[in-house]
Structures are given as C-alpha cells and as structure tokens.
Amino acid sequence: MRRVILFGDCDPGGVVYTPRIAHFVVEAGLDFLSHALGGPAARRLFAMGILPPARALSIEFLHPMAWDDAIDIEVSVDKVGEHSFALLVSAFNAAGDNCFRATITQVTISPETRRPVPLPAELRAALDGTRDG
C-alpha cells in the first residue's frame, strides 16, 4: 500500500511521531489480511468466530520520514503457528530507502473465553496462500 505522510502524522519538526508508525503497521496488516481473505479483515475474522489481538509489535526505525513523503508499505507472512501468526512489514520511500521494518504477531482468541484458540482453517489457508514457493 502507498501512504503519504500527513502534516498531522508529524511532530513540530516535521518528522513522523513514533506512535504513528505503529498505526501504519496495523493498518497495513489489516489491508494485507483483507486482500488475503477476500473482504474486510475485521469482519472476516469476526465471522470466523475469533478476535485477533496483537501479542507483540517490534519496530526498527531505519530512515526518517517527513511531511509529504510517500512511502510504499510491503507486508508478508513471517510465521503461522497453532494459535498465532506474524506479519513482516517494511516501508520504502521514493528513493528506495527502507524507512522502517516491523513485525506484528497476532493471537487468535475466542470472543467468549478470551483464551487462545487454533487458527481457523480458512485463515491458515489464506495466510499460507500468500507465501512464495
């Protein structure tokens, strides 16, 4: 997905606020899942009877991003486990510089018990279907 850094994403010096990157990661992950699942990610996951809270989020800042910069955000599947999955997220500016790299791990839990449940077969198949090779 392509994103343009907005004025409101930045601090008074014109550089992106650190917490905004977390929002970019979550937003890109949902966009990726929407594509993989063939519909709005949140609705598709809820229809499978699961909630997908984040268990871990790691971000490595590699190059500054400023107001009006356009970045291309790429998402791929890192790991698929029994009760969780992890996505790799990388952003590149127009010059091809890697601006940030992130990993987000989400757990599949029951809405009733709030305890982990196995990944639904449909979700596992969608995630496996996005992998190369």
Q: What is the CATH number for 27?
A: 3.10.129.10
Across residues 100-114, what is the average pLDDT? 97
Range of the domain at 70: 2-129
Mean pLDDT of 12-30: 94
Retrieve residue 20's tokens.
């905004």
Measure the CA–CA gap between 99 and 2, rounded to whole angstroms: 13
Q: Structurally, how many domains does the chain consist of?
A: 1
Amino acid at 74: E
pTM for this one? 0.92
Distance CA 71, CA 118 (A): 35
Nearest Cα to 37, choosing from 113, 130, 116, 133? 130
At 40-92, the pLDDT tens digits run: 999 999 999 999 999 999 999 999 999 999 999 999 999 999 999 999 999 99
Give 133's pLDDT tier (boundaries 50, 70, 90).
very low
The Cα 92–Cα 21 span in angstroms is: 13
Q: Pull the structure tokens for residue 93.
A: 């500016």
